[in-house]
Amino acid sequence: MILIPAIDIIDGKCVRLTKGDYSTRKVYNEDPLEVAMQFQDAGLTHLHLVDLDGAKASHIVNWKVLEKIAARTKLHIDFGGGLKSDKDLQIAFNSGAEKITGGSIAVKSPDVFKQWIKDYGTERIILGADVKEEKISITGWTEDTDTYVCDFLNDYRSSSGIEYVICTDIAKDGMLEGPSMELYSKILSEIPSLKLIASGGVSSVSDLEQLKEKGLFAAIIGKAIYEGKISLGELAKMVSA
């Protein structure tokens, strides 16, 4: 299982939110590059970079941060947040993103998102599935839908061959109470071929070990690192094991 540390960006700074609420933001470092280099020094190879300003503005904002991290590290970066147009996508890829993540656009403009998959391939496009009580939630978690997550993923798997999915249980995000094990088990039992990436709630090495046992392709770790619940030393040991 790949371990993917997360950096969320507001005003060019490294922050974390709780349940996606911007009013809960906490700045952990003024320099995201410094944080990314610490991850790389610990032996981590991937990075989940989220442009929270972009998510709010519905277009890419913090591409300079992406560009700087991509130029100064060897991390494999997946980038998301506010990517709504072909131009946004080109800026993200030109700035050094290896993959991009699309969530709300996959619900609101499926034809556009499916065209991105066709143009760039399933290796470079990740489907973001934000979930509230097993149903898809969009627009920064402010809009609920009636679409069940497994139906949503099955549709993209069958119609576009999507491979990578980041699934976030909103109720778990930033809470440090453990990830949504039952949700991930259900998804993998229905669609075992997915490269499912867990996001939200990871609070300990034990959580990561359980996700690995369940067959998750990767796990994103955010607040647990910044709040000292999981040390970079512990992650380094897992990577080298």
Q: Which residues are identified as catalytic?
A: 8, 130
Dihedral Cα 221, 46, 7, 207, nearest 10 deg: 0
| Residue 168 burial by Cβ neighbours in a 10 Å radius (0-12, 13-18, 19+) | buried
Length of the chain: 241
* 3-class DSSP assignment, residue 222: coil
Query: Do 16 and 69 meet the contact criterion of CB atoms below 8 Å apart?
Result: no
Question: CA–CA separation, 46 vs 65, rounded Å?
Answer: 16
Question: CA–CA separation, 42 vs 203, rounded Å?
Answer: 18
Question: DSSP character for 175?
Answer: T
Structure tokens at 154: 């099955």
Question: CA–CA separation, 182 vs 186, rounded Å?
Answer: 6
| Amino acid at the residue 232 | L
